[in-house]
Amino acid sequence: MRREQTGGINAVEALIERSPERVLQLWVAGDNPRVKALVGRAKAAGIPVQAAKAGTLDKQTGGETHQGVVAEFRPVEPMSEAELDALVEARGGDLLLLALDQVQDPHNLGACLRSAAAAGVDAVLVPRDRSAPLSPAARRAAAGAAEVVPLVEVANLARALEHLKQAGVWAVGLAGEAGTSIHDIDLRGPRIVVMGSEEKGLRRLTAERCDELAKIPMPGSMESLNVSVATGIALFEAVRQRGAK
């Protein structure tokens, strides 16, 4: 049985709320009222709770901020590509997917997952290689979103986009050199928004599999945005166009 640990109030709270049966143990330190509330919920769910020193929690999370609580849990396996096919069929015209092309910073992965959860994204695709893992740092940055949005690890992102295209899913890639604004792209219907890596953006083969490329208008002095910020802007343009409230 695979086990992982994650820290942070929001991340642990999401685990207890959504999947208490997967939480094996909590370690807590300090007297934060929110942590105390989590302890009560954990005990009510039959989850063992152990007091620990803050330094112990620091070691468990590799120095990441834990806010006085760490959970050991059984992680959910990534969604398979076959399950993704079933999701595409079930969601039809309401489908909204996100693809991250070799995003390697776990904090960026977590922030992208958080935006995806807030925007109602159905699943997030990442390449199996050269992508940030769903580590404690990523889960902490996701603030519980890792328990909400399914992650799909694909062997080859370009091939996955081509496969989705055959199923009627239109791919929109974000690229600074694109001539069309994201605000002028139709993001209604089955769509997948494709974001590039922190340094190089979209890889050539990935960009070639996109049906359209779009840019985020930036009239100011900066030429680029952090990938998680750009992801949020693109996803919420889709939310705006779809009329979600």
> What pLDDT is stored for residue 134 in this prediction?
87
Any idea where the domains of the chain sit in the sequence? Answer: 4-73, 81-242
106 contacts 133 by C-beta, under 8 angstroms: yes
212 contacts 173 by C-beta, under 8 angstroms: yes
> What pLDDT is stored for residue 26 in this prediction?
94
> What pLDDT is stored for residue 245 in this prediction?
59
> What pLDDT is stored for residue 141 in this prediction?
87
178 contacts 214 by C-beta, under 8 angstroms: yes
**Burial level of 97, CB count in 10 A (0-12/13-18/19+)?**
buried
Fold of 81-242: Alpha/beta knot (3.40.1280)
Where do the H-state alpha helices sit in the chain? 9-18, 33-44, 54-60, 81-91, 106-118, 136-142, 157-166, 204-209, 227-242
Distance CA 41, CA 50 (A): 14
pLDDT tens digits, 166-207: 999 999 999 988 999 999 999 999 999 999 998 889 999 999
Distance CA 239, CA 94 (A): 11
Residues of the chain with pLDDT under 50: none
Distances (CA, A) of 207 to 24, 123, 161, 203, 212: 42, 20, 10, 6, 9
> What pLDDT is stored for residue 215 in this prediction?
94
Q: What percent of the chain has pLDDT over 70?
A: 98
> Could you tell me which residues come within 8 angstroms of residue 206 by beta carbon, excluding any fewer than 6 positions away?
101, 157, 158, 161, 173, 194, 196
CATH number of this structure's domain 4-73? 3.30.1330.30
